[in-house]
Amino acid sequence: MDCSNTTAYITGNSTTYDSTNVFNCTNTTKGSWPQISSPTHEQVFVCIGQLVAGIGLLANLLVIYIIARYPAMRTVPNVFVLNLAAADALYCCAAPFYTVYALNIDGWIFGSAMCNVYFIMGYISAFCSVWFLTSLSIERYKAVTDPIGHSQKISQKKAWVASVVVWFVGLVAASPGLVFVKTDVETYYLESEDKFHLVTKCNVFAPDDIPEELFYKLRGVYSFTISFAVPLCIIIPLYVLIWRKLKEKKPCVLSKHVIRSRNKVTKMVAAVSTFFVIALLPYHTYWILKYFKLVENFPDGLHDVCLALYVANSAVNPFFYALLGDKFRRYIRILLCQWRLCKKYARKERQRAIELKIHFGSDPSEIVQSCSTRL
């Protein structure tokens, strides 16, 4: 989520600029001011990104609420899911700042301190999101390859310790970029009005003793390595091993219910990991090619598509939990029932309560109330 140092001037009703506009927390963003002269498709993608981020924020907060609200959801993998949702929600929270920044004719209007906060939110959330996903993959590998040993050795306490470590390492990994974050004022000449316009930039700027081109190359390689390449080199081999293990027909001492639940969680994490690769690979590839000038001309709109996928990565994970996780689906229905947003499900629960009273003599109101605590 940044905007790189780009000069532009206005001639008539058009702006000479680099048509790159990014919601990014790991790479260089290039834009132009006044944004009122920017192409319509860029404004549309900014608004779409804001909408996706808003939906993603609400969905991730719902995941956090469900895990925090219901003790049965506080399993070891869900500790990492909770932290992953928190990281994604933090990333989505930065969207309003970017939207105002990208569309405001004066550029950054929130001050120098918020510029640093803005980058901290972006860098840390992007790094931690990827590494919580990696932690989930490691946990799934242990659960599948050594289910008995995993259940005895792994505890929620250890999972929380690992989560704290990821947040701390995320802060450390983000610190090199945060050192160079600042606001800067640039001047744009408005030829049509024969005057200069001042625009405030919020960006990671190259230090004086390092050439700007080299600085952005190093920054791009650093981001690509720790936020994509290294996690990918861990996740892919783990899922190859998991797939081989699941294909084996060896007898297992675990019950069928436990095996079925374990495999569903594994498939859910695998789906999230797969979308992570699909969403981030085009974006990182685009910037590596651009930084090192391996491709001179990119098709119009290519960057906007890569950007949309990048933003969507922080918004779609909760939907994978809801679609592939039985427990998440059940508790979502229970919440809708409690909030009186799902009359059909409420009627089914009341009917079930009446049937249970006939058979066991229980109070229907107590049975309906118990639907919020049982799996």
Mean pLDDT of 149-158: 71
The continuous run of DSSP H or E covering 184 comes out as strand 181-190
Q: φ and ψ at 38, to 5 degrees?
A: -70, 155
Closest CA to 320 of 360, 273, 259, 362: 273
- The second-level CATH assignment, the architecture, of 9-329 is Up-down Bundle (1.20)
Sheet holding 195-204, edge to edge: 14-16, 9-11, 181-190, 195-204
Whole-number pLDDT of residue 128: 92
Map tokens 């050192």 to a residue. 179
pLDDT at 343: 54
**Closest-CA residue to 371 (of 343, 333, 318, 339):** 333
Per-residue confidence band for 262, with pLDDT thresholds at 50, 70 and 90: low
Higher-pLDDT residue of 64 and 256 is 64
pLDDT at residue number 37: 40
How many Å apart are CA 200 and CA 207, to the nearest integer? Answer: 18
> For 368, what's the count of Cα atoms within 13 Å in the CB-facing half-sphere?
14
Residue 153 has pLDDT above 90, yes or no: no
Determine which of 27-31, 144-148, 278-282 has the lowest per-residue pLDDT on average: 27-31
Average pLDDT, the chain: 75
Contacts of 232 (CB under 8 A, 6+ apart): 277
What's residue 61's pLDDT?
92
pLDDT at 6 over 70: no
Q: What is the pLDDT of residue 21?
A: 35
| Segment 326-343 mean pLDDT | 72
Torsion of Cα atoms, 317 then 285 then 229 then 202, to 10°: -70
Please name which of 314, 354, 355, 340 lies closest in space to residue 122, comparing C-alpha atoms. Answer: 314
The residue to which tokens 């009005």 are assigned: 193
Instruction: Tell if the pTM clears 0.85, that is, is over it.
Output: no
Listed residue (65, 46, 20) closest to 332, CA to CA:
65
Q: Is the peptide bond before 282 cis (omega within 30 degrees of 0)?
A: no
Per residue in 275-294, pLDDT tens? 888 888 988 888 888 888 88
| Position with higher pLDDT, 1 vs 150 | 150
Instruction: Sort strands 9-11 and 14-16 into parallel, antiparallel or unpaired.
Output: antiparallel
SS3 of residue 126 by DSSP? helix
DSSP 179: T
What is the pLDDT, as a whole number, of residue 2? 41
Indicate where the chain has its CATH 1.20.1070.10 domain(s).
9-329
What digits encode the pLDDT tens for the residues 294-316? 887 888 778 778 877 888 888 88
